[in-house]
A and B are shown apart, each in its own frame.
Chain A
Amino acid sequence: MSDESMHSALVGPGSDWWKPAGRQEKIWVTVSFIWCIFMFAAMPFWHFKGGQNPSGTRGKVDPMAFYARTQKFIEDYSVGTDQGIPVVEPPAGSEVYLLGQMWMWSPVLKLKKGVEYTIHLSSLDLNHGFGLFPVNINIQVVPGYDYALKMTPTEAGEFKIICNEFCGIGHHLMIGKIIVED
C-alpha cells in the first residue's frame, strides 16, 4: 500500500485508481484463488477415483414408451405385490426400470447387496424426485428423459423412495420401496 489518501465507497475515486493492492489483500486473493482451483480439480478427480458420480447414461425417451418398458420389466421379473404395488426381483446386474407418476413409484424393487444394477429413472407425467431414504441419494426425475444410473447397494435392509420434487397436491403421499437382501 502507498501513503495516499483513503475514501469511502460513496466517494468517487477520481480517474486513476488502478493501483497495486496491499500485501494482505494480495495474499488473501492468492490463497482464495488456489482454493478455488483445488475445489475445481476435486470434481474431475472424483470421477476417476470416487465411487459416487451422477454421470449415468442419459437420453430422451417418450413417456409412454418408458411406461411400456417398465410394464414389461414388471411382467418379466414380478415376484408378488406389496400394498398393491408389484414387487420385482431382477437378475443380478440387469437393467432395472423405475417409473415415477402422480403419486407412486413402481415397482417395488428387490435387489442383492453388493451387486451392480443399472437403474433407469423416468416419469410418466410431471417432474419427480428420487430420494432414497435413509441413504440420502437424491436424483431429479424429468419426464421425457431416461436417467440410467449404475447403483450398487452396499447394505441390506428396507429403503424408501421419497418423492422430493413437488408434483401436485398428493406429492407427500408419493413414497416407494427398495428391499436389499444379503
Chain B
Amino acid sequence: MKDAISQFAARCRSCPITGLKIDPTASILLRLHAVVSVVCLLIGGIAALLLVLTRWEAVHLLDATWYYRLLTAHGLNMLIFFIIFFEMAVLYFAGPIVLSSRLPAPKLGWLAFVLMVVGTLIVEYYVFAGKADVTFSSYPPLKAAPNYYLGIIFFAVGALIVSLQFVATLVIAKKEGAYTGSMPLVTFGGLTAAIIAVITLLHGALIYIPTYLWSLGLMNVDPQIYRLLFWGLGHSSQQINVAAMVSIWYLLAGLTVGGVVLNEKVSRTAFFLYILFISMASAHHLLVDPGMGPAWKVWNTSYAMYLAVLASMIHGFTVPAGIEMGQRLRGYTNGIFEWLRKAPWSDPGFSGLMISLVIFGFLGGITGVVIGTEQINIIVHNTLRVPGHFHTTVVGGTALSFMAVTYYLLPLIFRKQIRMYPLAKAQPYIFGIGITVMSVAMTFMGVFGVPRRHYDSSFSNALFTADFNPVVYVLQAIFGIGGILAFLGLLIYVLIAVASVFFGRRFDPANPEASAGHVPPGVIKLPKQAHEGGERVAKLHKTGTPGTVVLVIIFFVCFVLYYFVNWKSLAFIWKIG
C-alpha cells in the first residue's frame, strides 16, 4: 500500500491552477471516455438531423425502414453511449482528480473501457445492419438479433466496473489521507450518480439477461414485466444524468464565477433524496398500462409524494443562489440583478450552465412533473409531448451542461487551448435556442394528438387518415428549423472538441495568460474558491440572494399555472375510468 502511494506521488502531476494532483491513468481514461462519448454524440446527432428532416412532412427525407432504424440508432447513441461514456469521464474527474487520489485499480479501468467500447461496437453493428429495428426501448415480443442484447450487457458491465471503481477511489482516498473531513460537494454529487448507476445497471442486468436468453429461445419474457424492469433501467439512468448534471452545475458555478455552496446540509440532503426514491422511476412510463393498479401508479409515479421532485426544486434554488452569492462576493452587490447582468455571459462554461439550468428547470422539470401525473398522462402518453419533454431535460439540460464543462476540461485536463474559441462562445446559445424551439414545437404537436415514433402523420397509404389541425404543419416547420439549429450547435461543439483535442495548441497551466482569448476566463484566473468569514461575508449572509428569490417565484408561478391548465384540458375529454 505504501508503495502504491509513493509511486503515485512520483507519477502524478500537479495542476498549477486548481492545485489538484492528477493520476495519469485516471487522466488518460477520462480523456478516452470523453473522446468516445463525442464520437457517439456525432453519430446520434447526424441520425437526429435525418429524423427531423423526415418528420417534417414537407421534406420527408428517409424511407420508413431507415426512419425507424435511425430512430433506434439515435436513442441508443444519445441516451446510452454518449451520455454514459461522458458520465464515466465525469466520475474519473469527480473521484481521483478532485480528491487528488490515485486510482485503486488502473487495469480494471482499462478492462471496463474495453468492455464498453466492444459493447458499443456490437450494438452499432447490429443496429446499422438492420438486425435490431426495435427502437431504444425494444419492447418484447418485438425482437432483435441476440447479440444486440449481448452488446448492451457488455456495455453495462463496463459501466458498472467504472462506477464501483469510483466508489473504491473514495474509500482509498480517505484512507490514504488524500483529503480530510467530508468530500467536496462535486464529489458527493458524483457519488450520488455512481450509486444510482449501480442501482440502474442492476435493473439492466435483471431485464437484459432474461431478454437475451429469450431471444435465444431459452425462456419467456412477459411484455408487461419487461416494461416495468426496462424503465427501472431506462428512467433511473436519466436520474444518473440529473445527478451528474447538477454536480456539473455546482462545479461550473465554482469555476466560472466562484459560486459557493450556501448550505452543505441542504444540497447534500437533496442529492440523498435522489438516491432514496430512484427505484420508483419506472412508474410514470406505465401510467396507462394494464399491468398495475391506481394505488401503485399514484405512489410510485410521485416518487413517494414527489420527494425526488423536491430534491430538484431545492437544487433549482441552491445552484443559482450559489452563483448569485459568488458574484456578490466578487463585488456585484448593487440591486437585485447586478450579479446576473454583469455575469460572464461570453464564457461558454457560464452561459452553458445558465441555459442548461433554465431549460431543465422551466421546460423540462415543469413538463415532466405535469405529464407524469397519473391522470394527465392519458392526454400525453406516446404523443410528441413525451419527446418534447425529455429533449428539454436530457438534451437542453444534461447534454448542454456536458458541453459547457468541456470548455473547462479541455484546458484543465487535456491541456489544450480551445480551437475557434469565438465560435465556442456562441455555441451554447445556438444549441440552447435550437433545442428549445424544437421541443416546444413537439410539445404543441403532441397537444394536437400527433404520435411520437411515427413515420407518416399524413397516413398516405393507410386505411383511414387522421386530419390533423393545419397548425400541425406549421409546427412541423418550426420543429424542423429548431432541430437544424440544434444540430448546428451540436456540430460546432463536436468540431471544436475534436479540433482542440487533436490539433489544439498546448495550454500551459504555469502561464495561463499566454492562452488568453483561447480558453475561458475562469481558467486564466480562477475565481476565489473559499472566503474567510468576516464583516463583508457576514453582511452578504444577511442579504442572502434576493435575485434568486425573484427567479424562483417566477418559476413557481409558471409551474402552478401549467399544472392547472393541464388538469383543465383533461377534464374536457371523454369520461374514462
A-to-B contact residues, CB < 8 Å: 1-15, 17-19, 21-25, 28-29, 31-33, 35-37, 39-40, 42-44, 46-47, 50-56, 58, 83-85, 104, 116, 121-122, 125-127, 129, 131-147, 149-155, 160, 162-169, 171-177
Contacts and interface: CB of A to CB of B under 8 A. Distances in A.
Contacts of A129: 381-382, 451
A146 B290 contact: yes
B375 A43 contact: yes
B264 interface: yes
A151 B183 contact: no
B289 A166 contact: no
A143 B141 contact: yes
6 contacts: A1-B544, A10-B255, A13-B182, A136-B573, A154-B573, A166-B453
A169 B317 contact: no
Query: Which of A37, A135, A163 gathers most chain B CB within 10 Å?
Result: A135
Contact of B266 (A21, A44, A137, A173): A21
Contact of A131 (B186, B375, B383): B383
A93 to B, nearest CB: 13
B65 A22 contact: no
A164 B463 contact: no
Given A9-B185, A22-B262, A160-B464, A54 B314 contact: no
Contacts of A135: 449, 573-574
Contacts of A121: 290
Contacts of B71: 166
A139 to B, nearest CB: 5
Contact of B532 (A5, A39, A144): A5
Interface residues of B, number: 125
Nearest to B304: A40
B379 to A, nearest CB: 5
A25 to B, nearest CB: 6
Given A10-B186, A131-B451, A137 B180 contact: no
Nearest to A50: B375
Given A8-B253, A33-B310, 6 more contacts: A9-B261, A22-B544, A39-B369, A127-B227, A145-B290, A169-B68
B320 to A, nearest CB: 11
B449 A174 contact: no
> Top 9 A-B pairs ranked by shortest CB distance?
A8-B254, A3-B538, A147-B290, A9-B250, A36-B306, A164-B451, A17-B264, A9-B185, A164-B382
Interface in B501-555: 529-535, 537-538, 541-542, 544-545, 548-549, 552
B379 A138 contact: yes
Contact of A6 (B292, B530, B567): B530
A142 B181 contact: no
B254 A9 contact: yes
B531 A104 contact: no
Given A22-B262, A25-B318, A10 B18 contact: yes
Given A8-B326, A12-B184, A139-B378, A36 B459 contact: no
Contacts of A32: 310, 313-314
Nearest to A119: B576
A148 to B, nearest CB: 9
A83 B464 contact: yes
B260 interface: yes
B561 interface: no
B168 interface: no
B133 interface: yes
A81 B310 CA distance: 53
B258 interface: yes
Interface string B444-466: 00011101111111010111111
B305 A37 contact: yes
Nearest to B369: A39
B263 interface: yes
Interface of B: 18, 64-65, 68, 71, 98, 133, 135, 139, 141-142, 179-186, 189, 222-224, 227, 247, 250-251, 253-255, 258-268, 286-294, 297-298, 301-302, 305-307, 309-310, 313-314, 317-318, 321-322, 325-326, 329, 369, 373-375, 377-383, 447-449, 451-457, 459, 461-466, 469, 529-535, 537-538, 541-542, 544-545, 548-549, 552, 556, 559-560, 563, 567, 570-571, 573-577
Contacts of B532: 5
Nearest to A33: B310
Nearest to A177: B464
A175 B369 contact: no
Given A5-B532, A9-B261, A140 B182 contact: no
B576 A140 contact: no
A182 to B, nearest CB: 15
Contact of A24 (B250, B307, B321, B383): B321
Contact of A168 (B142, B254, B259, B378): B142
A96 to B, nearest CB: 13
B186 A6 contact: no
Contact of B290 (A12, A44, A140): A140
B233 to A, nearest CB: 17
A166 B293 contact: no
B139 A127 contact: yes
A135 B307 CA distance: 32
B248 to A, nearest CB: 10
A55 B451 CA distance: 22
A166 B179 CA distance: 51
Contacts of B310: 29, 32-33, 36
A137 B378 contact: yes
Nearest to A125: B141
A39 B303 CA distance: 12
Given A13-B185, A40-B306, A169-B64, A55 B530 contact: no
A116 B251 CA distance: 56
